[in-house]
Amino acid sequence: MKKLGILVASLIAASASGGVATALDYKAGSLEIDSPWSRAVPKGGKVAVGYMTIRNTGSEPDRLVGGSTPVAGGFMVHEMSMDNGVMKMRPLTSGLEIKPGETVELKPGSLHIMMTDLKQPVQRGKPFKATLKFEKAGDVDVDFAVEAAGATSAASAHDAHHDTHHH
């Protein structure tokens, strides 16, 4: 009976935390990729942006060098920064290094995937497939969850969605 109580408690904890991340986690070599997500793009928009967390559990660095998706013609790793109050965005032409033991977060206002020349709508609630290309770990197929246009993270978008539809 005690095991059942523990199981119920963990199911409640998983549903309270959104439970979404576990279904969207990927592993390639020593890399763990958590919760790839994107924001919905308004009709006619030509650019989508992707976010995720990448953790390197190994002893060698690896590098996210690009990728592809059927929804877009271009797929590049970008960096966004502020310079004297001016937002600057630039592609990381040599890719994004993930050092051993390091966790790198691609998030709004920071590092991100830029998907250009959209070939189909990117709509909330309709995940899309992509392939991430790593120097050492190789190609990793992932599904990007699509959140609301103003979402700041996959979890906060899920929580906001949960709050508006269940109260």
Phi first, then psi: give them for residue 6, nearest 5 degrees: -65, -45
Assign 159 to helix, strand or coil: helix
25's tokens? 């986690």
Residues 35/20, Cβ–Cβ less than 8 Å: yes
Q: What CATH architecture applies to the domain 37-149?
A: Sandwich (2.60)
3-state percent helix, strand, coil for the chain, nearest multiple of 5: 20, 45, 35
Question: Which pTM was predicted?
Answer: 0.77
User: For every one of its 167 residues, what pLDDT tens digit does the chain have, with 9 covering 90 and above?
Assistant: 544 444 333 333 333 333 344 444 899 999 999 999 999 999 899 999 999 999 999 999 999 999 999 999 999 999 988 889 898 899 999 999 999 999 999 999 899 999 999 999 999 999 999 999 999 999 999 999 999 988 888 754 444 333 333 33
